[in-house]
Structure 1
Amino acid sequence: MSTGNEMLLEKLQANFNEVEPPLSHQEAFEEASRCLYCYDAPCITACPTGIEIPSFIKKIASDNLLGSARKIMEANPVGASCARVCPTEELCEGACVLNGSTQPIMIGKLQRYATDWAIHNEKVLFKSGKPNGKSVGVIGGGPAGLSAARELGLMGYGVTIYEAEEEAGGLDTYGIVSFRLPKRVSFWEVDQVKQVGVDIRTNTRVGRDVSLEELKENHDAVILSVGMSDVPMLGIEGEELNGVHDAIEFVKQTKSGQLSQAFAGKKGVVIGAGNTAIDGATCAVRLGAENMKILYRRSEKEMTAYDFEYEFAKQDGVEFRWLTAPKRLIGDEAGNVCAIECEKMELGEADADGRRRPMPIPDSTFTLEVDFVIKAIGQTRYTDLLEQFNIHHDGGVVTLNDDRFETSVNNVFSCGDVIFGKGQGEAMVVTASEQGKQTAYQVHEKLSGLQAESTA
C-alpha cells in the first residue's frame, strides 16, 4: 500500500507529464493533406535548418513516416526536440502561405508526429560514412555539439564528444521542462548521433579531466560548444538565505526526477522574464506552489520569453509584475527567505542592446511575502575556460574569424550559445543545431580542402 508521501510524489510526477497532446493518425493525415506542397515554399526559408517541410509533410500524407522522419532529421539533428520547443508561429508556420486565408499548417505538430513515430519504433535513421582517417573532438554535447558531431560522423570522421554532465543533450536534456520536452526525446536524438560512430564521453569536463592540449594532440580539429553556465548573482542583500534557487539548477532537478514536496502551498517569485523564468515558475506551480509571481524590471514589451511560453504561464495562473525590481531579500530567524523588498521602475533611454533602460521610481519601495525565490536573470559564461585556452572572446562570447566558425586558435572552432551575444547569433535550439552543421562543414573544408554539402 502506498504511503501518503508516495502518493503525493506520484501526483507531482504526473504534473510533469507532457501537456501538449500529439496528433492522432487521422488528425495528422488530414492536416498533412491540407498542405499545398509549395514549390518555392517560404516555410523552408523561415526554418533556420532548412528542413524541406513540404516534402516531409507529403510523406506523412502518403503514410511514409520513416521517410518523413528521415527528411526532418537529416536537416535538423535535434528535429524531434525542435518539434516541441521551436517558436513555430514566428518561423515556419508564421511564413505559411495559408496565413490570412485560413489557418497555417501545424508544421510543428506534424514534425512531432513523424519523429515520435520513429522514436516509438526505435528507428535508426543514419549510418556512419566511410572512415577518412581524421579525428575531431567536440567539447559539449548540447544541440550544437550533437549536430556538428552527427554531420562529421556522416562524412567519415572519427568524432569524440566530451560532455561534463552525466548525460548528453545539453539544454534539451536538462534545461527545458519535462512537460514540454521529455528526456526520452533528447535521449533518442543522442542515440542517433551515436549510431554514426560518435563516441560520447560523459562526466568528462575539459580543463579538469582532459586539457585542450591533449585534445589538440589527439584530434585534427576541436569544436567548442560548451553553451552557457549558471545564473549570475542578483547583487542584492539576502542572496545567501535558504530558499533562493538558481533557475537552471531548479529545472534540472525536476528533469532528473528530484521532485520536492517543500513547495506545496508556498508563495514564490521568479526574478526575470525569459524562457527559463517561465520554466521556473511553471515548474514551481507543478510542485504545488499556490502563488507564483514573475518580477521583471522592464515592461511586457521587452520580455524575452516566447509568446507561447508567456501564454502558457498565464494559463498556469502565474502573475506578472512588470516594471518591478528586487532591492533586497529578507530572512527570518532561521535564515530562510520570508520576504522580498522591491521598487517600481520606469523606462528611460535605450541601452546598448536597444531596450529602454529601467530606472527606479523614488519612494516606490514595497514588500512581498514569499517562501522562496528563483533567480532567472540570464546565465554566466565559461570565461575561465576560454582564457585557459587563449581563445579570444568579448565578455565570454567567443570571437570568430569571419563566417567560418573558427576561433583565434588554429583548428579550434566554436558554435552554439558560447558564440551568442554582443550582436552575434540567436539563442534558439534550432539555430544552435544549424550552427553545428555549418561548423562541421567548415571543419571538413579546412581539413580536407573540399567544400562539404549535407551528407544525410
Structure 2
Amino acid sequence: MSSKPTVEIPPTVKRPVCFRPTKCQKGDSCYLSRHKEHPGTHHKRDFRNPKYMMSIPEAIKEGQRCLKCIDPPCQASCPTQLDVRTFTNAMGEGNMYAAAKTLFTHNPLAWTCGLLCPTCQACRGSCTLTDTVQGPIHINEMHQVACDAFMHMKIPQIRDPSIVEQPYHKAKIAMIGAGPASLSCATFLARIGYQDITIFEKQSYPGGTPAIEIPEFRIPYHVTRFEVKLVEDLGVKIVYNKTYGKDFTIDSLKQDGYQAIFMGIGFPEAHMVDPFMRHKDLPNVWNSKSFLNAVALASKPGMIEGKVPELPHLPGHVVVCGAGDVAADCCQAAFRCGADFVSLVFRRGSIDMRMNEDEAEHLRVEKVEMVPCHSPTELVIEDGKATGLMCNIMKKIPGTDKYVHDQGQTRVIKFDHVISAFGSLIGTHADPIYEKLVPGRKIEVNEETMASNTEGVFAGGDCVGSGTIVEAVNDGKVAAWGIHRYLAKLISNVEVPAQPTEVPPFMTPVDLVDLSVNIAGMKFPNPFGIASGPSSENCNMLKRAYQAGFGWVVTKTFQPDEDMLENVSPRIVGDAESNTYLNIELNSERTAAYWEKELPKLKKEFPDRILLASIHSKGDLNSWVNLAKRIAATGVDGLQLNISCPNLGEKDSKPFTEVIRETVAAVHAAVPLPLFPKIGHFQGSIVELAKAAKEGGASGVSGVNTISGLWNVTADGKFVPEVGFGPEARTAYGGMSGRAIKPFALSGVAEVCQSVPNFPFLACGGIENALTAWEFIQCGAPAVQFCSASMHKGFKTLIGELIPGLKFLLYARSRDDLKTWKSFVPPAVLAERSHRKRFGLYYDQDEDKEIESLADAKLPAEPIKLKEFVLDQMNGASSSTTPSSIAPEIKTIESEVGTVLNKLVHFNELKPQIKVVSTIDVDRCWNCGRCQTACFDAGYACIIFDRTSRIPKVTPMCHGCGLCAAVCPAKCISMKPKEAKK
C-alpha cells in the first residue's frame, strides 16, 4: 500500500487563521483611528486652517489623474474660464511656475478662490471623474499648492513690454472698493496697457470681503495681501481711508478727471430680521457683519497697524441663525472665540440648505448642532440680555420647495449668545447716486459689459448681485474689457470688438527669458521640437505644432516610392498614464511627392521656425542622394537620416558605423544642408555611431530611436498587439518609446556629449516635461524632441508647460536664492509641517500640546509669511521680490548645455569613504512602514517601525543605500551625511 504523498506548504500559507476577541479588535480600531472627531472647542483660539492641506506629492498625483478632457466641463462651469487642461498638466509635471502663471492669467485672485470657491457647485462638481471611486479632481486644493509655491519664488508681476502705447492708455480710471471685483478689473486693465488706475478704499487695508469678513482659518491674510501686491506690481495705486459718499462721489471723481469709474463696493450692512433689529444693541446679540469683522481684526495680525483688538469672547452656548456660507463661518469662528456648544438654526430643512456641501461637512466635523425647520420669531429678553430664541416649527409642502409654519408647533432655544447671519444689504446712503444706480438692492448693469445706466460708470461684485468671490472676480474681468471698449471709443474713436481679442497674460521677468538656441548655423526659436513619428504624420499636424508654439519639427520618416511598405493594424499599444508606448509602425504612408508639394508651403507660412525632413532609403547610396536632393529643393532647413529604426533599419552585412559614415558622406557631398543621422541602441555602441556620423560630415546627431521590445503577453497566450485573428494571429518586435526609455536616452546623450564634444545632439526618448528637458540640456543636448508626450497631451497643453517651465529654470540660475532648488518646488514649502493627524492617543497629545500653547498666547504681530513676502512692499521698502534685485544676467541655453557632465565619472573614480544615512521627516511621514519592509527584505534591516506610535526610526547601523527613500510614497526620506564617530 503506497504512502500518501506529502505536500510542502510555504510558511505564509501554513500560518494558522487568527482568532481574536472582538473586544480587543474594537480597542485597537479606536486607538489607531485617524478620524477621532472633537467638538469645536478643540479649536479654541486656533486660527490655523482645520482642513488637511494637500501636499506637494499629492498635488502632483492629482494633476496626473486629470483626464485633460478635450472640452473640459470644469472649465465651462468656472466663471473665470480657467484653462484647466494647461493648469492640471503643469501640476502633474510638478511645474509650479507654469501652473501659477496659468491660474493668475485667468484669475488674478486664484489663491483666494482656491480657498473660498464653492467648487462642489462649480469646477469640481462638473468633473468627468465625479462618478468614479477616487472622485473628481480637487482643482481648488491644487490652486493653493501652486500659489503658495509661487509666492516663495518671490517674482513680481510685470506689464507686457511689447504693448504699443495708445492715447487711451493714459486715461484716468477710478475703482471704488479694494475688493475682489475692483482688484480683478484693475489687473486686466493694467495688463491691457492702462497706466493711471486708482483704487479708493474706505478701510485702512485692502482685500474687501475676504479680508474683513472671512476668518483667518479660511483665508490667511498673507494670501489676500500677496494677491494685492501682484496688482500693485502693475502700477495700480490704492488710496486708503476714503469712503464713497462721504469723501468723494461719482460727480467729484469725474470733476477730478476720471473718465471711467468701476464700482466694486460690497454690501456694507447686515440683513437683520425684525426680532434682531429691535434688540441689536444688547451685548450678547450679534450680526454676522459685526461678529466676523471683530474676529478678522483680532485674528489677522498685520492687517491693521497698531494694537490688535481683543478676540470676541463667547463662552457657553452660541446660536447662529442662517443657512448660508456666512453662517458656517460664524459657527466655526464661535468655537474659536470660546463657545462650548454651537447650534445652527434655520427655517428650511437640511436637504434645502443654501450652504455648499463642503462647508456643511466642516460643520459636521466640528460638531455643530444642526437645527433645521426652525424659523426665528422673537428673542426672549431677561435682565437686559437675550436668553432665548422663540421659533416656529416649519414643515415642507410636498412637491414644492416651500416651507410653512406647522400650526401649533413652537420652540424656545436657550443660549448665551446669538448671531444672525441672514445676508447683507446695500444699506442707506446720503449720496443721491444710489437713487440712480441702486433702484433695488443692487446696481442694474449690462451683463455683457457691466456698464451701469450712468455714463462711464461700471460695476461688479456684491453690488450687482454676484453671490460668490469668483463671480465678483469675473465681473471685474468682464468690466475691464467693457471699460477698455468705452475708453478706446471715447478718446481715440477706436472700435474695439465686443468679444475680447488677445489680452496679455500674467507676466513676470521669467517670461522675458530668451529660449532661442543656435545649432549648426540654424537659430531655433526654442529648443522644443516634435519628433518624427505619429505626431508628425502630415503637414497639417506640423502646422498645429508650430501654431501651438514649438520651435522646430521633424517630419515623419518617408522614403522613395519603391521602398514604401504598408503599415499593419493594430500597430500601437501603450499606457498614457505612464507615458510609455510600443509600436510596430513603419514609415509614413505619404509619398515623397506629397512632402515635396506641402513642405514649401509650411516653410513659407512659418519662415522663422526650423523644419527638418526625416528620410530613409532601403536602396543604395544613389537612392539616398536622389531623395535628399529632391527634399532639399523644398526649402527645408535640414535633413534627418533615419538609419536606426528597429523595423526600418539597415540590414546590411556591414557594421552600422560604416553604413552611417558612408551614407552621411554621400548625402553631405550632394546637398548643402545640415545633416542629423538618427542613432539608437539598436545599432550598437551609440558613441561609435556618433563618431562615425561626425566623420561622415554630419552637423550633429538625432536620437535616441525607439528601443526594440515586446509589450505584453496575456494569460491566454496572446501577444499585444497582434495582427490577425485566432490561431493565425502574429506579432513582431516593436519599438519602445516614452518614459520607459528615458534612462537609456539620457545615458546615450551624456555618453556622446562627453566623448564627442561640440557635436549637437537633438535628443528624444522619454522627454515629457520641462524638467526632463532640462535634464537632457544639462547632459549636453541643446534641443529636445517630443512624440509620446504629445500623443496624449496634445501640442497646446504640452507646450503650455514646457516654455514657462524652461524659462523659469534658466531664470532661477541667475538668482542665488533659486539656483539651489532641485525642481520647481520651494524647499521652504516642502519643509512646512504637515497637518496630517496622528494615531489615537498620539494624535490627542500632539494636538492638546499645541492648543495649550495657543490658548494664552497672542498671535504674532507680523506672521512670517506676511513679513517676508508682503510687508516690505506695504511699507515702500525694497524687496527681494522687486525687479531691481534680479540678477542682470539671465542664463542662456548655450551656457547651460552639458554643465553636469564633469560630474559623470567612471565607477572606479567614486569615493566609497563618503558615507550618508537615511533621515525621516516624521511630520510628513504617512506611517505606512514601507521603508522597514524594504530595508528588512531587500536592505540591511536598519529601520525600526514602532507598532504603537507607528513611527519609523533609522538605527545607527544604516548603510545609506537609499532604498528606503526610493520606496517611500510620502517622499519624506532624504539622505544626509553620516556624522563621524566621536
TM-score greater than 0.5 by the shorter chain: yes
Segment of structure 1 superposing worse, 188-197 or 241-250: 241-250
CA distance in 2, matches of 1:322, 1:126: 51
Map residues 1-400 of structure 1 onto 2, 5 A cutoff.
Answer: 12-13=44-45, 15-102=46-133, 103-127=135-159, 132-157=169-194, 158-217=196-255, 218-236=257-275, 238-257=279-298, 258-260=309-311, 262-264=313-315, 266-333=316-383, 335-347=384-396, 355-356=401-402, 358-382=403-427, 384=429, 387-400=432-445
Does 1:418 find its partner at 2:463?
yes
Seen in structure 2, the aligned counterparts of structure 1 residues 208 and 128 have a Cα distance that, compared at 3 Å, is: farther
Does 1:442 find its partner at 2:482?
yes
CA distance in 2, matches of 1:400, 1:139: 16
CA distance in 1, matches of 2:411, 2:118: 36
Query: Residues 288-324 of structure 1: CA distance to partner in whole angstroms, max 9, x if unpaired?
Result: 2112111112222332111111111121111111121
Amino acid at match of 1:324: H
Task: Give the conservation status (yes or no) of the 8 Å contact 1:48–1:431.
Answer: yes
Shift of 1:233: 2.7
- Does the residue aligned with 2:418 lie in a helix, a strand or coil? strand
Task: Give the conservation status (yes or no) of the 8 Å contact 2:449–2:481.
Answer: no
CA distance in 1, matches of 2:361, 2:295: 22
Amino acid at match of 2:292: V
Shift of 1:400: 1.6
Shift of 1:12: 4.2
CA distance in 1, matches of 2:447, 2:129: 38
Task: Give the conservation status (yes or no) of the 8 Å contact 1:346–1:359.
Answer: yes
CA distance in 2, matches of 1:134, 1:368: 58
Q: Which residue of 2 aligns with 1:423?
A: none
Segment of structure 1 superposing worse, 57-66 or 181-190: 57-66
Q: TM-score, normalised to structure 1's length? A: 0.89
CA distance in 2, matches of 1:170, 1:66: 27
Q: Which has the higher contact order (CA 8 A, sep 6+)?
A: 1
Query: Residues 181-235 of structure 1: CA distance to partner in whole angstroms, max 9, x if unpaired?
Result: 1111111111111111111112111111122212122211001110212212321
CA distance in 1, matches of 2:290, 2:431: 23
Amino acid at match of 2:142: L
Shift of 1:386: 6.9
CA distance in 2, matches of 1:374, 1:205: 27
Seen in structure 2, the aligned counterparts of structure 1 residues 66 and 380 have a Cα distance that, compared at 3 Å, is: same
- Does the residue aligned with 1:105 lie in a helix, a strand or coil? coil
Seen in structure 2, the aligned counterparts of structure 1 residues 260 and 390 have a Cα distance that, compared at 3 Å, is: closer
- Does the residue aligned with 2:50 lie in a helix, a strand or coil? coil
Task: Give the conservation status (yes or no) of the 8 Å contact 2:375–2:392.
Answer: yes
Query: Residues 325-378 of structure 1: CA distance to partner in whole angstroms, max 9, x if unpaired?
Result: 222222332x2222222221234599xxx952x433333232222111101111
Query: Residues 214-269 of structure 1: CA distance to partner in whole angstroms, max 9, x if unpaired?
Result: 212221100111021221232125443221111122112222224536323x1111
Seen in structure 2, the aligned counterparts of structure 1 residues 89 and 327 have a Cα distance that, compared at 3 Å, is: closer
Amino acid at match of 2:119: T
Amino acid at match of 2:60: F
- Does the residue aligned with 2:119 lie in a helix, a strand or coil? coil
CA distance in 2, matches of 1:174, 1:238: 24
Seen in structure 2, the aligned counterparts of structure 1 residues 263 and 370 have a Cα distance that, compared at 3 Å, is: same
Q: Which residue of 1 aligns with 2:706?
A: none
Task: Give the conservation status (yes or no) of the 8 Å contact 2:188–2:477.
Answer: yes
Task: Give the conservation status (yes or no) of the 8 Å contact 1:417–1:432.
Answer: yes
Match of 1:432 among 443, 452, 472: 472
Shift of 1:438: 0.4
Amino acid at match of 1:273: A
Task: Give the conservation status (yes or no) of the 8 Å contact 2:321–2:346.
Answer: yes
CA distance in 2, matches of 1:215, 1:59: 44
CA distance in 1, matches of 2:205, 2:422: 25
- Does the residue aligned with 1:267 lie in a helix, a strand or coil? strand
Amino acid at match of 1:278: A
Task: Give the conservation status (yes or no) of the 8 Å contact 1:31–1:106.
Answer: yes
- Does the residue aligned with 2:425 lie in a helix, a strand or coil? coil
Shift of 1:390: 4.6
Q: Which residue of 2 aligns with 1:4?
A: none
Seen in structure 2, the aligned counterparts of structure 1 residues 402 and 86 have a Cα distance that, compared at 3 Å, is: closer
Unaligned 5+ segments in structure 1 are 1-10, 421-425
CA distance in 1, matches of 2:282, 2:197: 44
Amino acid at match of 1:64: N
Q: TM-score, normalised to structure 2's length? A: 0.43
Segment of structure 1 superposing worse, 446-455 or 124-133: 124-133
- In angstroms, what is the RMSD of aligned CA positions? 2.2
Amino acid at match of 2:126: A
Q: Identity across aligned pairs (percent)?
A: 26
CA distance in 2, matches of 1:382, 1:223: 19
Task: Give the conservation status (yes or no) of the 8 Å contact 2:349–2:373.
Answer: yes
Amino acid at match of 1:178: E
Task: Give the conservation status (yes or no) of the 8 Å contact 1:56–1:72.
Answer: yes
CA distance in 1, matches of 2:81, 2:288: 32
Task: Give the conservation status (yes or no) of the 8 Å contact 2:294–2:311.
Answer: no
Shift of 1:128: 6.8
Task: Give the conservation status (yes or no) of the 8 Å contact 2:269–2:427.
Answer: no
Query: Residues 111-159 of structure 1: CA distance to partner in whole angstroms, max 9, x if unpaired?
Result: 1110111123333234377662112101111111110011111122211
Q: Which residue of 2 aligns with 1:455?
A: 504
Seen in structure 2, the aligned counterparts of structure 1 residues 386 and 70 have a Cα distance that, compared at 3 Å, is: farther
CA distance in 2, matches of 1:446, 1:286: 48
CA distance in 2, matches of 1:402, 1:309: 29
Seen in structure 2, the aligned counterparts of structure 1 residues 49 and 61 have a Cα distance that, compared at 3 Å, is: same
Structure exhibiting the larger radius of gyration computed from Cα positions:
2
CA distance in 2, matches of 1:259, 1:121: 34
CA distance in 2, matches of 1:270, 1:195: 41
Unaligned 5+ segments in structure 2 are 1-42, 299-308, 489-494, 506-982
